Copies of this chain bind each other. A is one copy, B any other.
Amino acid sequence: MSAQLEPVMDTAPVRVLLADDEHLIRGALAALLSFEDDLRVVAEAASGPEALAMARAHRPDVAVLDLEMPGADGVAVATSLRSELPDCRTMIVTGHGRPGHLKRALTAGVRGFVPKTVSAQRLAEVIRTVHAGGRYVDPELAADAISAGDSPLTARETQLLEFAADGAPIAEIAQRAALSPGTVRNYLSSAAAKLSAENRHAAVRIARSQGWL
Residues of A in contact with B (beta carbons under 8 Å apart) = 21-25, 27-29, 31-32, 35, 93, 95, 115-120, 123, 166-169, 172, 197-205
What is the count of identical protomers in the complex? 2
Contacts of A169 in B (CB 8 A): 198-199
Q: How far is the CA of A95 from the CA of B21 in the complex (A)?
A: 10
* A120 near B28: Cβ-Cβ < 8 Å: yes
Residue picked from A31, A168, A204, most chain B C-beta under 10 Å: A31
Q: How far is the CA of A118 from the CA of B23 in the complex (A)?
A: 6
* B119 near A166: Cβ-Cβ < 8 Å: no
Contacts of A28 in B (CB 8 A): 25, 28-29, 31-32, 120
Residue of B nearest to A20 (CB): B116
Contacts of A167 in B (CB 8 A): 197-205
Given A32-B32, A199-B167, A21:B205 Cβ within 8 A: no
CB distance from A185 to the nearest CB of B (A): 15
Contacts of A166 in B (CB 8 A): 202, 205
Given A32-B32, A95-B22, A27:B201 Cβ within 8 A: no
Contacts of A116 in B (CB 8 A): 22-25
* B168 near A202: Cβ-Cβ < 8 Å: yes
Q: How far is the CA of A199 from the CA of B169 in the complex (A)?
A: 8
Interface pairs (29), CB distance under 8 Å: A21-B117, A22-B116, A23-B118, A23-B119, A23-B120, A24-B116, A24-B118, A24-B119, A24-B120, A25-B25, A25-B28, A27-B119, A27-B120, A28-B28, A28-B32, A31-B32, A31-B120, A166-B202, A166-B205, A167-B197, A167-B198, A167-B199, A167-B200, A167-B201, A167-B204, A168-B198, A168-B202, A169-B198, A172-B198
